[in-house]
Amino acid sequence: MLNINEIRAEFPILKKRIYDSQLCYLDNGASAQKPRVVLEAINRAYSLEYANVHRGIHFLSNTATDRFEAVREKIQKFLGADSSDEIVFTSGTTEGLNLISNAWGQNNLEEGDEIILSVMEHHANIVPWHFLREKKGVILKWVEPRSDGSLPPEDVLKVISARTKLIAITQMSNVLGSIVDVKKICESELTRHIPVLVDGSQAAVHMKIDVKDIGCDFYAITGHKLYGPSSSGAVYISKSRMEEMTPFMGGGAMISEVKRESVTFNAAPHIFEAGTPGIVEMIGLGAAIDFIQDIGIKSIQDHELELTRYAQDELDSLSWLSTHGSTLEKGAIFSFTMDGYGHPHDISSILDRKGVAVRAGQHCAQPLMDYLGIAASCRASFAMYNSKKEVDILIRELKYCHELLN
């Protein structure tokens, strides 16, 4: 069982007061806060160990390279990959998905080929495939969630056809919190020869991930949701799919040799990492992964499950509040709208004046908003450092909002 007070003490920003209230940070679905060990790792990397990585001869460059490359193995173990060569560093999930769209999709998809997406996808797992639709004439096939926000694997599998060449699916909705059983999708006989890409941005911080057990071909994560720095992330790419890819960005460590007549590329994974990387950002992500592993992802998951059930019950008790997504298979993410005159932006602004940070808007999920029939929603998303007390604060201030707006 987690000691919440001890964990909260590791996050300096949680001591902050907003206006006249103690910060109640419930916007973790957008970005999680950073523990002291991550802040210290960033500071140390910049103040004592900074230099550009790879091909340096001097001490600082070698030190920075060692620190930077060590993170690859940490991510490999965190995701359960066979080899660190299957881990490509990125600036986050958005870059990772665009990398796959360009480096794999451009080579392996043709006009009329189908990509299966769910309506719950974040824009980052939609727009790169629209690029291929516009450039190559691929067809996007959409799967809608059920009325409770769930997306059973069979609903994805039943739309597979002979032209299906990719399934790109989230493991956890950033709006509804719904968890998709991606393993069942991957282990189906129907997907034996169809690559499956999993957007793990939301899921990886809430549950244990094992890409080999899942059986997916691609799995993308982002650092800023994993208690790490912005502009850090990675994508797991199976060796067999890497062999089908060619680089779409050039420069930096992805090069082995350049001549007037030709260019020879580096081996994977560096072939897909053009330019000077986010050295310090990735070192910070490594510290964040160590922090998560030290606490234990199972302990985090158990704590958040208890918090999810408590928050769901409390939100459901408000008759004038509509919570979107009621499936039991969900993470600690809640989107809601208020009956009457409470626009999500107004609600968020009022909560902010009470020290409660939530997100309001479409959450980069406009197709899902359209499906739900709403223009926007408020979203409260929880992390390992949140408590039932903060759920109570949210409920209290929502009641205040309702009284004020109605």
Catalytically active residues are 364
Find out whether 285 and 222 touch, Cβ atoms under 8 Å: no
206: nearest Cα among 386, 12, 25: 386
Tokens 């298979």 sit at which residue?
Answer: 329
Whole-number Å distance between alpha carbons of 261 and 259? 5
Count CA atoms closer than 13 A to 280's CA, side-chain side. Answer: 15
On the 0-12 / 13-18 / 19+ scale of CB atoms within 10 A, 158 is exposed
Q: Across the strands, what pairs with 378?
A: 336, 360
Find out whether 246 and 103 touch, Cβ atoms under 8 Å: yes
93: nearest Cα among 171, 192, 167: 171
Those residues whose C-beta lies under 8 Å from the C-beta of residue 44, and which sit 6 or more positions away, are none
Token pair belonging to 90: 């990125």
Cα separation values, 170 from 156, 203, 213, 214, Å = 12, 8, 17, 13
Tell me which H or E stretch contains 293: helix 279-295
User: Strands across the sheet with 139-143, in order?
Assistant: 87-90, 233-237, 218-222, 196-199, 164-170, 114-118, 139-143
Count CA atoms closer than 13 A to 194's CA, side-chain side. Answer: 26
153: nearest Cα among 127, 124, 179, 119: 179
Tokens 């665009």 sit at which residue?
Answer: 98
